[in-house]
Structure 1
């Protein structure tokens, strides 16, 4: 008798356990693809079937933000009958990629299901930043990455904002990158209307140079019809690192003093070269090292007789002008002296004159 009662109870429990609704979707994810913000709200209908043996109730549909709205079948759904959940995405003010979950709560044994909508919104033209430079569909905010003062012993980073203004994915590539510069695209794949950055990592210790320096690399694309590239310039002023020096160390260092910081050649007649001399004195307490003397004016040449100066001693810097190389009638430029003087590691000399 007890065995019969147990059998009946077990059978009843099995019947209850198997008497459940079951929601089955035709798909739990929908990709709207790429569409423009001006298109307005886009909608997808998720369809499902109750594959259980009891009526199914959708009790709630919840989205993660106000940008999606949902409508769904609210009446009980009999076994083998179907229902639907309508999900709308409003792209206004939301350019770029999106991926949004939609949570569906029911009376089934698994009481919550997760749906997902995704896509890429091409932003309104009125919202976009006007990037003046273009390589195909890639627009660039600038073609120059300035790093300014770049002390030895430290990696420097810089970046350039870019945007994909096309309707397909872009994967920019880089060519002719100097060995002391590492370049990366973040993200590596730019989706339509997506902004990214070209990020550089600059190692000043990997280049044997001082003072102002320009480097270049190319960014662009290679495809069946050919290639599209443009040149990015990186500028840096390479100096010693004095960031950890104490006031006492600075006081005991070598210090650079000029006999003059302006050299005026006046009126230069004919094509005969002209020279003037600037005296560089070490007024400090330690040896002074002159790393480099630079200038970017074609008719100007410099000659430094000595690159190390002991305390109290001097060296001569000869500045020479070749009028035959002048492209304008005026001479107005700078000669830069790069040294290990912690108080003024980069010292300018103004050079003036006119050609007749």
Structure 2
């Protein structure tokens, strides 16, 4: 009987001790820690039991114990230190590819793929560091443009294949003009920067001038065609009467301007007077020659207009005549004082003078 009581007391005491110790709830870890698979399979965690912590995906264990312990219904602090894994710089997937790394190469970071000038990126522009490494694939492809086709009545110069930034040049045949851009550049969008030009026949419009009419030339006015003009009555022409159809249009067209008509002025007749002088018989021939020259000058009439140049000529002639008259007067005066005298008789005839001179 005594032994039974002893066993009962021991059972009750152990039961009381067991009931005084609290269990721990299922551990919940945050951040870069997770519970191991073995610990996740347990149904209960009595006081004093342990669980195993692991680093989350993308993180690597560096230091500390992975065990946590249930003590009085609470889990101990996680001592395991986990850090992000480093994918390292990604290897270029093309010889003309580089990467722009702004946020490092640790787990979760992104890098941007770039291609050299003249190459186009095909695939994913960004790659991310994952548990398995860098994801995504991309490649750099050489940029080319389609070979151009020559325009009708024209030619095109290019190097095949046409690469990025290559320039092609167009030209037209004779009598045709280029409409559009003469040079095109292969762009980074695999196309040219402008549409191809055209070659159109050079043709000028119908030429017209004010106060004038066209006398030669008929449409259509193609390249090197000519048109000739004349001015209306009362107008005079400045410039060439013929204009040529050039690549940029007509060459310089003539201009018809109003003509200025000068009214005729009344003419003035100037007659030089004669100076007749009786001289001595020894100088009769000399004076006769002087008188004949004066008479020849008196027979000329000078017509004067309002023009300034004509007036200058008139003044010069009058001055010359005046000088001649003065010289003759001086000669006459000089000879008279050397012995000549006036008899008061009628002037002898020319035959008489000559006869007297011979005596």
TM-score, length basis structure 1: 0.23
Q: Which has the higher contact order (CA 8 A, sep 6+)?
A: 1
TM-score, length basis structure 2: 0.23
Between structure 1 and structure 2, the one with the greater Rg is 2
